[in-house]
Structure 1
Amino acid sequence: MAIEVGAIVLALGLLMAVAYRGLPVIVFAPLCALLAAALSGLPLLPSYTDLFMTGVAGFVRAFFPLFLLGAVFGKMIDASGSAATIAAAMIRALGPRHAIPAVVLAGAVLTYGGVSLFVVAFAVYPLGAALFRDADIPKRLLPAAIALGAFTFTMDALPGTPQIQNIIPTRFFKTDAYAAPVVGLIGAALVLFGGLFWLDRRRAWAAAAGEGYGAGHLQEPEARTGDDLPSLGAAVLPLILVLAVNFVLSRTAWSIDLWYPEASIRKAFPATNPRDAAPSWAVIVALSVGITTTLALHARRMRVSVSASLSAATAGALPAIFNTASEVGFGTVIKSLPGFEVLRGWVLDVSRNVLLSEAVAVNALAGVTGSASGGLSIALEVMGEYYLEAARAQGVAPELLHRIASMASGGMDTLPHNGAVITLLAITGLTHRQSYPDIFAITLIKTAVVLALALSAASLPG
């Protein structure tokens, strides 16, 4: 059994090394999985075609529309200037005296409205850099401020966020995007205020040392201004519609299964369970409404043609979903190996509290893969059914499993090899050495909040 356990540990280590070096996970995830299968005595080709590809196909089938529509919506919001308008309005409202909260809230509004994290970084950076320069705050703190607004509480804690990290658990726990709203709101508040406190202390320490914005920075931006930007109302409307439609279809009496009667669906599509698919359907419809509204309002204002925007969005969505799907395929192979039962026992022995055990497992795998969605998918693919059974035995609601898993995915995922972190630093023209310590501090705050909630969530109301 030691050989089988070692095979899994070796495969995980290699996958982490590959992700850290920026090599394509879509290529190396199956190779790592097949290495573990071979060392465990399983035949290679069936492990690839019947295990790995089954996991990949299942994930793509479930979530491809969300990746694609999310990428298209984000591109449209960016190309129309709406993202720049919203960020500028938030920054104007708070002003240079509150530069850090302004940048954080600008990113938060865009992310919660359904805009992808990468688009948010591109949109907020030019305005944030100008604000930090006016307030004479060190530029090295800007990536952490953007990360706090876009990569943390609005990505996975706030109920109803349409980001994929909040949708993946619905497949495993039969929940919706608004699962455990009280826990999500408490977690979001703790992360937001904890992160703002840290960044303000860092600003004060820098000011006391005589450090300002600095000079000679690379990639100093030029913000979009003037008549080419839409009004704030027109810019915000598509985001509001995404949130409103998602809420109406998920949580009100006008739920999607009333529009599509369950009996009719089961007759035409016997393998489909409408109640399981409804959370994804709600986000698909919501993002479609957002895209349609953006095109209707801003098609003439877009800096590039609609066809070019669609091509760019598609080019961005395909690597994202297939990288994550490859990690799910990796998890599908791993959970079938003889040594997995031993490793699962080790993970579950971390705590008898199912929420804490889940938080540790998801957080660790997100850190290993450098991906919130990848780590979350692997953890739930491998142990989601067990956690659901253990939660029922302990009287813990599936909604709490959803919220803790979602929030845990956004903890240690932002280690140095995380793709979003690398992209953010490239956008801002800064290095890991300059800015990563403060991003890591935000990562630690988020992780600490998740673990604390996992210990206490079952006793919270709602």
Structure 2
Amino acid sequence: MGVIGIILALGLLIFLAYRGFSVIVFAPIFALLAALLSGMALMPTYTEIFLPNLANYVKVYFPFFLLGAIFGKAMEQSGAAKSIAKAIIGKLGKERAMVAVILSAAILTYGGVSLFVVAFAVYPFAAAIFKEADIPKRLIPATIGMGAFTFTMDAIPGTPQIQNSIPMKFFNTDLYAAPVFGILGTIIVFTTGVAYLEWRKRKAQEAGEGYGQNHKNEPVIVEDTNLPNPLLSALPLVSVLVITLILQKMVFPHWDITSWVTLAPYNVAKTGVVGTMNNWALIIALVVGIILSFIINPKSIKGNLATAINAGAIGSLLAVLNTASEVGFGNVIKSLPGFKVIANHLININPNGSPLLSEAVSVNVLAGVTGSASGGMSIVLDMFGKQYLDWANRIGMSPELLHRVAAMASGGMDTLPHNGAVITLLGITGLTHKQSYRDIFAITIIKTGTCFLLILLQSVLHFV
């Protein structure tokens, strides 16, 4: 009955999310339904399991959501995001509209802009170039998602997105873990994803389908003559990457803080010191990126500084609460007897081989259950991270592989219909699940398949 309750709760959450209902409201409702069917008390489940885990997720990861969102709004208000997007589109032309949108989203994401904010920044230009090239608007969400939610989110080494930062504290690694594995994943996902989207575009155009009429949330495209130079616009993005690299690789490794951060009032666990400092590096880098975004085009920012900061702060709250609610849902599911049956099967996958397959399946499943890449991965690594690390040490495997596989697997089945980023993206573009989810899911399958393909290749070739 407990397992049935889990499946029923997840199915209902996916269904209502597909129908446009808020997961902030319905994640706790269906978590409590699963608890009820498992014989657990309702109110203690809500106040002692759901809410504390929601709050803990916000406590740990809110700085990344907040700073990422403000960074994105600063890039938007300064004209830097528009300048970068227009420069890419200008170079590639409308016949490469999809690649232009993918690269625009990818550059912003890899530069540290929040995934949720990238959609806001790129959508106006995506709509303009799709309309000019007469490509169906329904393909925009998958195209933006391809650039923002796949390889730049968790595969390519150095990405400052939280999906790549979470494993650091569990495996004492950094953002550049397992570069060969990550770069191969990036190449496969990018080439396969672009080929799929171009095929979908050709099929639609051959059938006589164009951009379409009477769409919702159509942006008003205004020519802006006050855009900063594209190279100058890229400076904040580059600064996030460079500062993160310098702090993680050159500064913090020589800074012995264990003697004081592990004591009161900080009480950082000794095993988490490296991951904690790596998080500090990312926070510092994002702050510098925000400051640079504000100063590269003072004419555009003048009078809009408060707007950019406030809009970023407000946007980050919705994004983090969507994800945190799904983490709360996942942690309630995790506490149920039926989940322990599922978890035991997951951890025992390939017991005589490497931990990578078990880790990838576990993260993928939980990312799907919670509708959150970061949420699902956090749950799995909280439960099994030490076991995976001990397992890797026993067989002489680098912890960097555990980091990269966990990150990439989290960006797989997380994008089921109840995923917060998917819901946000569809809302921004004025489209529905029925119109656009098929292609978002196809990109999800490509991403998931790539992770498992690389695990297979690694077992044969033993690359890191």
Fold shared per TM-score above 0.5: yes
* Cα displacement string for residues 218-241 of structure 1 (whole angstroms, at most 9, x for unaligned residues): 444333433232221221111110
Matches within 5 A, 1:46-445: 47-48=45-46, 50-250=48-248, 252-254=249-251, 256-259=252-255, 261-266=257-262, 269=265, 271-272=267-268, 273=270, 274-302=273-301, 305-352=304-351, 353-445=354-446
* Cα displacement string for residues 403-451 of structure 1 (whole angstroms, at most 9, x for unaligned residues): 1121122222223333333333333344434433322221221111112
* Cα displacement string for residues 227-267 of structure 1 (whole angstroms, at most 9, x for unaligned residues): 232221221111110011111112x232x253564334445
Return the offset for 1:393.
3.6
Q: Is the 8 A contact 2:319 2:420 kept in 1?
A: no
Q: What SS does the aligned partner of 1:310 have?
A: helix
Report the Cα distance in structure 2 between the residues aligned to 1:210 and 1:23, rounded to whole angstroms: 33
Q: Are the structure 2 counterparts of residues 91 and 70 from structure 1 closer, same or farther at C-alpha, using a change threshold of 3 Å?
A: same
Q: Is the 8 A contact 1:16 1:368 kept in 2?
A: no
**Which ranges of structure 1 fall in alignment gaps of 5 or more residues?**
none
Identity percentage of aligned residues: 53
Report the Cα distance in structure 2 between the residues aligned to 1:21 and 1:216, rounded to whole angstroms: 21
Q: What SS does the aligned partner of 2:234 have?
A: helix
Q: Is the 8 A contact 1:68 1:317 kept in 2?
A: yes
Q: AA paired with 2:409?
A: A
* Cα displacement string for residues 358-391 of structure 1 (whole angstroms, at most 9, x for unaligned residues): 2222222323333222322333333333333333
Q: Is the 8 A contact 1:30 1:326 kept in 2?
A: yes
Q: Is the 8 A contact 1:355 1:455 kept in 2?
A: no
Return the offset for 1:289.
0.6
- Count of residue pairs brought into register by the alignment: 458
**Which ranges of structure 2 fall in alignment gaps of 5 or more residues?**
none
Q: Is the 8 A contact 1:327 1:377 kept in 2?
A: no
* Cα displacement string for residues 170-212 of structure 1 (whole angstroms, at most 9, x for unaligned residues): 2333322112111111111100000111122223333444444
Q: AA paired with 1:419?
A: G
Q: AA paired with 2:422?
A: V
Identify the range of structure 1 (73-82 vs 121-130) with the bigger mean alpha-carbon deviation.
121-130
Report the Cα distance in structure 1 between the residues aligned to 2:431 and 2:365, rounded to whole angstroms: 27
Q: Is the 8 A contact 1:20 1:418 kept in 2?
A: no
* Cα displacement string for residues 296-345 of structure 1 (whole angstroms, at most 9, x for unaligned residues): 22344138622222222222222332343344344444444444432212
Q: AA paired with 1:262?
A: T
Q: Is the 8 A contact 1:335 1:382 kept in 2?
A: no
Report the Cα distance in structure 1 between the residues aligned to 2:296 and 2:118, rounded to whole angstroms: 20
Q: Are the structure 2 counterparts of residues 13 and 132 from structure 1 closer, same or farther at C-alpha, using a change threshold of 3 Å?
A: closer
Normalized against structure 1, the TM-score is what? 0.88
Report the Cα distance in structure 1 between the residues aligned to 2:207 and 2:27, rounded to whole angstroms: 46
Q: AA paired with 2:132?
A: D
Q: Is the 8 A contact 2:322 2:420 kept in 1?
A: no
Return the offset for 1:350.
4.5
Q: What SS does the aligned partner of 2:250 have?
A: coil
Q: What SS does the aligned partner of 2:174 have?
A: coil
Q: AA paired with 2:304?
A: S
Q: Is the 8 A contact 2:185 2:451 kept in 1?
A: yes
Normalized against structure 2, the TM-score is what? 0.88
Q: Are the structure 2 counterparts of residues 99 and 12 from structure 1 closer, same or farther at C-alpha, using a change threshold of 3 Å?
A: closer
Q: Is the 8 A contact 2:153 2:163 kept in 1?
A: yes
Q: Is the 8 A contact 2:349 2:358 kept in 1?
A: yes
Q: What SS does the aligned partner of 1:253 have?
A: helix
Q: Are the structure 2 counterparts of residues 25 and 384 from structure 1 closer, same or farther at C-alpha, using a change threshold of 3 Å?
A: farther
Q: Is the 8 A contact 1:327 1:378 kept in 2?
A: no
